[in-house]
Amino acid sequence: MVLFSLVATHADIDLETVALLSTGASELATSALAESPAVAGAIVLATCNRFEIYGEASRQDDVEDARQAFIAQLSGSTGLNEQLVARSFNTRTGADVTRHLFSVSAGLDSAVVGEREIAGQVRRALITAQHEGTASAGLVRLFQAASKTAKDVGAQTALGARGLSVVSVALDLATELSEVPDWSTKKVVVFGTGAYAGATMSLLRERGCTDVSVYSSSGRAAGFVATRGGTALDGDSLPVAVAAADVMIGCSGADTRVEASELARVRASSPQPLIAIDLALTHDFDPAVGGLDGVELLTLESVRLAAPQEQSESLAQASSIVAGAASTFEQEREARSVDSAIVALRRHTMNVLDAEMEKVRARHGCTAAAEEVEFALRRMVKQLLHVPTVRARELASNGQQEEYVAALEALYGITVEQPAAKAADAGCPVEHQDRPAPGGAREIA
């Protein structure tokens, strides 16, 4: 089995393109698995600044077909030209897939280096794929190992102690821009009830903010605030809350957004300035909001530019942990890749032994002598198989498993068949982003 990934991130393309690709994320893995025999498993990781597809193919020759299947599916679901979709991704295979995902999960590839949220997003991507039945066994092991590596980095380096996140940096920026930096005096409106909204609520509480209202176009605000605190808003109460707000934070990534003209009308008589923090990749707030009088707009790009630089010592230590974990994972994966060959060799040898024992029993019957012969032969076969088994694992750890398989076919005529990837058992469903009712701009008045 071969692991591969298609990676589009803030480091290579603009966030608008990442957002456009992400609109086709929800059904991508299921559709590609159903449409293309080259795709044996798939997990999609979509965050505020990246869109990544992790796949598994039965053979190296299938990787390009699988890649084309994903590109075609995305082009169809997003309406983007296939050439544009293809250019947006970097394709990785083998050990490069492992190293990249481990770095991502540990927060080393983020706009805010060492951020906390990404590890949770990696876990939720796996859970979603298991729930939808698209996660192959190889991908499950990959993502589980990535999550463990993220925990090790958090526990063993200063990155974990810093507790940085996209949300925390955004709130730090808002504090610097505020005439009154005390969050206990602020009225905040949060749009969304997903993971980012939950992280935002936690950080607002840590900063002493108690006047928080939550709006969800999908109607989940009441359930969200029931466990996190705050006041649930609906379409009728939203305009009043926005008019009185000191800060509004967009975390929903819904298909509708607050338009500048609507916000200007709602806040026409509001005396206090407003800081609008848009953390949604697809924009909860019209970019023109930043041009309104008395409104300061902060975006993901603002956060990226303001993110503090980590100390080189912490980064080196975290990078070392990631590199070691990736190397260990690849060695174990290569060792597992010869399991089928080892099983085939043992089956072939035992079949020969059983055939010979049938001849012994046919001639001498089931006597004590026949049993002694069988015992001796089985002990001899076990000893003979020991060295080939050890050598198989050694060769696999060096990436030479194909040479081992070729030797078995040449010496014994054994054809080694690789098992098909199996989808993992379904996990628990996760909370997805807000899904608004059909329509255009979000109405706040």
Inter-residue contact 416 to 409 (CB < 8 Å): yes
Q: How many CA atoms lie within 13 A of 426 on its CB side?
A: 6
Q: How far apart are CA 395 and CA 399, in angstroms?
A: 6
Strands 247-250 and 187-191: parallel
Q: How many CA atoms lie within 13 A of 326 on its CB side?
A: 20
Q: How far apart are CA 184 and CA 208, in angstroms?
A: 5
Tell the residue number behind the tokens 């705050």, with chain if given.
230
- Which two structure tokens, joined as six digits, stand for 197? 């909204």
Q: What are phi and psi of 96, to 5 degrees?
A: -65, -35
What does the buried/exposed string (b/e) look like for 138-147 if buried means 16 or more CB atoms within 10 Å of the residue's CB? bbbbbbebbb
Sheet with 274-278: strands ordered across: 231-233, 211-215, 187-191, 247-250, 274-278, 295-298
Q: How many CA atoms lie within 13 A of 127 on its CB side?
A: 13
Q: How far apart are CA 178 and CA 163, in angstroms?
A: 23
Name the active-site residue from 48, 251, 366, 428: 48
Neighbours of 70 (CB within 10 A): 28
Bridge partners, residue 274, by sequence: 295
Q: Is 14 left (phi over 0), alpha (psi -120 to 50) or beta?
A: beta
Instruction: Kindly provide the residue ranges of all beta strands, DSSP E only, lying in 26-89, ordered along the sequence.
Output: 41-47, 50-57
Q: How far apart are CA 361 and CA 371, in angstroms?
A: 9
**Closest to 175 (Cα-Cα) out of 296, 260, 48, 304:** 296
**428 belongs to the catalytic site:** no
Which stretches within 365-433 are classed as H helix?
368-397, 401-412
Q: Catalytic site residues?
A: 48
